[in-house]
Amino acid sequence: MIWHIRQWEGPDCVPVKEESYNREAGRDLSNVRPCCLLGHKKTPTSQASDQETYIMWPLLLALFSMMPVSFTTMVVGDLPAPTNVHIDSYNMKHILRWDPVQVPNQLHPVTYRVECELINESRPMCVGITETQCDFTDKIKPFWRGEYKVRAELGESRSVWVNVSEFQASLHTKIGPVQSLILKSHANTVTVDFSPPFSPIPQNFKFKYWLYYWKKGTEDKTEVPLRVSTHYIMGDLEELTEFCVQVKASTDYIEGQTSDPQCAKTMIREYTGNDLAVIIVCVILVCVICSVAGLLLYKKHVLIKHFLYPPFRMPNHIQEFLQDRPEQPYEAMCDPAPKEEHYDHISVVEVPLFQEVNQISAEPNQVSAEKT
């Protein structure tokens, strides 16, 4: 709304100037004389109307003072901008948050506008809100990539836009732990069931699950990739042993948070009537099979021996060699012709032992006599 104000001077209210003011911008009218607002030049014939003007304007000023209008000057673009603008995205729930804008001496609340700048267009997310957050989860697609911005508004005044970095839900959201992790223990197995971190799951948004389990009190963890399934059976476990389990959900681009560990203790295997019947039948079948196999071995042992140990067969080249040799009579092979023997002639001479000893003893005596 535009206010037109005329000013006059002197007792005759001579017009000086005329001004136009924006109601929102405001103007201090406390120092303006009542007769100089809408007064006109007095003439002898218009004294009655002047008296009416002097009476009406105090009432109008009192009425203006009661109106909830702020007359503080504010230029467009001079409104403070929001601060600490950021996006909180958790389990595909996206909220833009910021700190409130404080404007003193204002009776009307500050409102905010949030928009998303895409490649070819700008989409409004929240308009005219007084809260300092904007939930735009249902207004975008998980694979949209855009730049989000917010500004403050007060009447016709606007702040500058405050932008945040580009955001794409399928890449930048945080994935929490899986839900409803339940363990059911059996004799030597533990059954694991859980549900995805959130639902519904957007189209083309696929989870991969990783399961970790270990014996309580140890640090050696076994890692099992589950891909899509949310059900797993841990088998061949020790009886009366407590095992702990953790599950993590991830995508090709985002690694989720690992769930809190859940533990369960295996039980002792108890054999029911059906289990005993199955065991007895299996034992009987094994005995029958062993008996039949033994009987076959006894009856067909020759055939089995011939099959397992075939007769020796001479190689072909040895057979050909033997066949090509000339035949000889058996007697010649057993009793060959005698060969001529070669020997030396030896003569044996006998000498009496006592005669030889006497000759040896006599020879020294002859030597001693010759010396004398």
Side chain identity, residue 4: H
139, 359, 360, 361 from 372: Cα distances, Å: 159, 21, 20, 18
| pLDDT band (50, 70, 90) for residue 34 | very low
162-175 residue pLDDT tens: 999 999 999 999 99
CA 90 to the chain's CA centroid: 15
Q: Say how many Å lie between the first and final Cα of the chain, rounded.
A: 187
Positive/negative CA dihedral, 360, 363, 368, 369: positive
Cα angle, residue 311 at apex, residues 305 and 313 outer, rounded to 5° = 160
231-288 residue pLDDT tens: 999 998 998 999 999 999 999 999 999 999 999 999 887 667 787 788 899 999 999 9
pLDDT, position 36? 39
DSSP code per residue over 62-124: HHHHHS--------TT-SPPPEEEEEEEETTEEEEEEEPPP-TT-SSPPEEEEEEE-SS-EEE
Measured in degrees and rounded to the nearest 5, phi and psi for residue 66 equal: -85, -15
Q: What is the 3 state secondary structure string of 167-225?
A: EEHHHHCECCCCEEEEEEECCCCEEEEEECCCCCCCCCCCCEEEEEEEECCCCCCEEEE
Highest mean pLDDT among 289-303, 310-324, 348-362: 289-303
Q: Where in the chain is the domain with CATH 2.60.40.10?
A: 83-172, 179-265
Q: Indicate the SS3 state at residue 318.
A: helix
CA 204 to the chain's CA centroid: 17
pLDDT, position 76? 47
Nearest to 24, CA basis, from 78, 80, 73, 76? 73
Range 323-345 average pLDDT: 60
Please give the helix or strand (H or E) that residue 257 lies within, else none: strand 255-258
Q: Indicate the SS3 state at residue 283.
A: helix
Q: What is the CATH number of domain 179-265?
A: 2.60.40.10
pLDDT, position 77? 61
pLDDT, position 73? 45
> Residue 300 region, left (φ>0) first, then alpha (ψ -120 to 50), else beta?
alpha
Side chain identity, residue 107: L
Residue 116 has pLDDT above 70, yes or no: yes
Homologous superfamily, domain 83-172: Immunoglobulins (2.60.40.10)
Q: What's the CA gap between 81 and 162, in Å, rounded? A: 7
219-228 residue pLDDT tens: 899 999 998 8
pLDDT, position 243? 96
pTM exceeds cut of 0.85:
no
- Rg of the chain on CA atoms, in Å: 60
pLDDT, position 273? 75
